[in-house]
Structure 1
């Protein structure tokens, strides 16, 4: 088994250790507060604090709203059932449970926001120590206990090793850009039959998973932003950019999955390979800049490579090189040219997103103007 240095292990596990610490602190503080308030059913407040505490502030905020809304809905409906339906025998309790759960289960099925409501209502009905007490006070106690646990958990989430979702998102986006760079590297070797189709498929799978994770974290970051907990850029555009870059590389991969097999278009193939390498280099530089909150890297090199391919494409079109080629090859050639054009625009968008996260003014347009000037020349 490979030994891991304790310091490195703590660095790798800092997020998980922070979450564990927040859970313990929130639970203990909730217990002390419940004791100070003389709450008899403090366990529900402590459980709420544990449930609400999530990996980021945005996720904790959502869990708080879900827990509180579900508890209010479940408590209100449970109290109504207890006041109207007799529940002093097993048969009567079964009927009360049915009346309680049917509407709340449907509500939770169609509105996951209220998925805690059936649990709260069932607790009101079945907890032995609550039977015989006034249901209205019991319901209010439950809501108050949930409120105490939620408030303590949110305060702890904001104070004790706080993790902002937009910070986590930057790390996930940076990792995704690295995977996209690896994919572009693989594509650059495919035309010379040195590519690895299995590696390409694995990269596509990893990229899909990474983008899905980024979109999930972006929802949490948006919630933080709407709640004025952070002053950060809108997280949705960077997820949209990732999807577009992946789509561009997918189209490029279809065109470059094998050689052009025609000597007359060898300059196009060579230009495409160099462009793919430059794209990979830029994506890696962008990933590093995003992780370090730096200015977006210069696009001069990648723009030059894309412009070189565009110039080779224009020359081939002017010379009529593609007229006698098979239709399938012609489709790949023109599809590749279109995909490179789309990619250049999306790289510009990526540079703007990186600058947003780094707090810099966008500089991508200037770099792309260089490429435009080269095409005209």
Structure 2
């Protein structure tokens, strides 16, 4: 989109990434627009519409839809039940007000504990009892005004999310997935270096594994928002779940490779396998980094021909180790390590192929809908 260019330039000037800057613009516009609408309709407690529009605004359209639904459902439940309590439970004295608060809170707090989407319901119910405005205009009118204002804020928030610098959840998911794949390239490098040079990179794993887990959670959260956008007919992008499942399978494959690489190969085996392992390392790293760039830019990835060739060469060298002379010279544990590594790499090959397909699906969707950002 044309607006993305100046947003990115402004972000680079003030040191903020474009996605965060776009969200800041959307939040500001949503709050200001909600305020203008409340003044237009002269709502008595219009600030709730402004607060709701800001709360609803999330990083993606799907996230904003989720926040709007949760805010509305929680407010409706709290306003209706709190209005009934305010209307039928006496609360003119401190003691009776304390009893009314208990009656208003417990059922809704239990509802919010069972269904977190209703977490604002207890708060709304309390507001129905405590503020002087609710008592001045009556509980029923106060409940109606509260639902009207929250609904207005939800509408403004979702509309701004849709039409002002919109960020599609599929794009956020692809960017998080790109981060996962890029970190996987670093992880694979550490494992191969451990096989050939010894466990020199174990300290790096203590920071790398948490980063991968965090990126996977971010991708999974974005996938949930993308699913919500698809169900709301806001996008025709492919189902995000296959990509997330494939990322987790690749993650499991790397764990298996890491177990096989928990110690260096014996010198004789290392001498035979180091050339093919190093070639496999380079080809795999190039493939993963290209996949990361393809996911980030939602373009078609390059093929895996170099990776396939390098893995086939390693497999051939590993099979050649089964000669009777070598098997007599080396302990069975050494051959078990090579077999485990070969098995894990074969699984890795299959799941990388699936990841290439999933990345290609996202690229095709971006080609069909170039404005989905």
Indicate whether the TM-score tops 0.5.
yes
- Tell me whether 1:110 sits opposite 2:114 in the alignment: yes
Change (3 A) 1:22 1:7: closer
2:104 corresponds, among 100, 105, 118, to 100
Matched, 1:275 2:277: no
Answer yes or no: is the 8 Å Cα contact 2:11–2:21 preserved in 1. no
5+ long unaligned stretches in structure 2: 1-8, 366-373
Relative to 1, partners in 2 of residues 1:323 and 1:37: Cα closer, same or farther, differing over 3 Å?
Answer: farther
Once the 2 structures are TM-superposed, how far is the Cα of residue 81 of structure 1 from its aligned partner? Answer: 1.1
Which of 158, 175, 200 aligns to 1:154? It is 158
Contact 2:11–2:18, Cα closer than 8 Å, also in 1: no
Q: For the residues of structure 2 that align with 1:196 and 1:149, how far apart are their CA atoms?
A: 51
Answer whether contact 2:196 2:270 (CA < 8 A) is retained. no
The unaligned stretches of length 5 or more in structure 1 are 361-377
The change in CA–CA distance for 1:97 and 1:315 in structure 2 (over 3 A counts) is: same
CA contact (8 A) 1:176 1:211 kept: yes
Q: 1:265 to 1:28 in 2, by over 3 A?
A: closer
Distance 1:181 1:107, change over 3 A: same
Local SS of the residue matching 2:234: coil
Aligned length: 356
Contact persistence 2:196–2:264 (CA under 8 A): yes
CA distance in 2, matches of 1:153, 1:7: 23
Aligned match for 2:202, one of 197, 202, 205: 197
- Give yes or no for the alignment of 1:83 onto 2:84: no
Q: Which residue of structure 2 aligns with residue 236 of structure 1? A: 241
Give, in angstroms, the shift of residue 284 of structure 1: 0.6
Deviation at 1:334, TM superposition (A): 1.3
Deviations 1:162-200 (A, max 9, x none): 111111111111122111111112222212226422123
What does 1:155-234 correspond to in 2, within 5 Å? Answer: 155-193=159-197, 195-234=200-239
TM norm structure 1:
0.89
CA distance in 2, matches of 1:101, 1:323: 76
* Structure 2 counterpart of 1:356: 361
> What is the CA RMSD across the aligned residues, in angstroms?
2.0
CA–CA distance in 2 between the matches of 1:188 and 1:274?
Answer: 10
Q: Could you tell me whether the CA contact under 8 Å between 1:191 and 1:273 is conserved in 2?
A: no
CA contact (8 A) 1:176 1:207 kept: yes
Please say if 1:339 is aligned against 2:344.
Answer: yes
Relative to structure 1, is the Cα distance of residues 85 and 322 closer, same or farther in structure 2, using a 3 angstrom cutoff? Answer: farther
Structure 1 equivalent of residue 54 of structure 2: 50
